[in-house]
A and B are shown apart, each in its own frame.
Chain A
Amino acid sequence: SQTIHQWPATLVQPVGSPLSLECTVEGTSNPNLYWYRQAAGRGLQLLFYSVGIGQISSEVPQNLSASRPQDRQFILSSKKLLLSDSGFYLCAWSPSSNQPQHFGDGTRLSIL
Chain B
Amino acid sequence: AQKVTQAQTEISVVEKEDVTLDCVYETRDTTYYLFWYKQPPSGELVFLIRRNSFDEQNEISGRYSWNFQKSTSSFNFTITASQVVDSAVYFCALSEVSSRDDKIIFGKGTRLHILP
Chain A nearest CB: distance from B34 CB in Å?
A: 10
Contact among A46, A49, A90 with B45 in the assembled complex (CB-CB below 8 Å): A90
Interface of chain A residues 66 through 112 with chain B (CB within 8 A): 88, 90, 92, 94, 96-106, 108
Do B95 and A97 touch across chains, with their CB atoms under 8 A apart? Answer: yes
Chain B nearest CB: distance from A43 CB in Å?
A: 5
Enumerate chain A residues within 8 angstroms of B35, measured Cβ to Cβ: 100
A32-B102, A97-B95 are known contacts. Are A103 and B44 too (CB-CB below 8 A)? Answer: yes
A and B contact pairs by CB, cutoff 8 A, 16 listed = A32-B102, A46-B103, A49-B103, A51-B102, A88-B43, A97-B95, A97-B99, A98-B33, A98-B95, A98-B97, A99-B50, A100-B35, A102-B47, A103-B44, A105-B43, A105-B44
Q: Within the assembled complex, what's the spacing in Å between the Cα atoms of A100 and B95?
A: 10
Q: Within the assembled complex, what's the spacing in Å between the Cα atoms of A94 and B104?
A: 11
Do B101 and A106 touch across chains, with their CB atoms under 8 A apart? Answer: no
Q: Within the assembled complex, what's the spacing in Å between the Cα atoms of A105 and B97?
A: 28
Interface of B is mostly: loop
By CB atoms of chain A within 10 A, which of B46, B47, B102, B106 has the most?
A: B102
Q: Within the assembled complex, what's the spacing in Å between the Cα atoms of A92 and B44?
A: 10
- Other contacts beyond A44-B45, A100-B35, A106-B44: 15, CB < 8 A: A43-B106, A43-B109, A44-B109, A49-B103, A57-B101, A90-B43, A94-B102, A96-B102, A97-B99, A101-B45, A101-B47, A101-B104, A103-B45, A105-B43, A106-B43
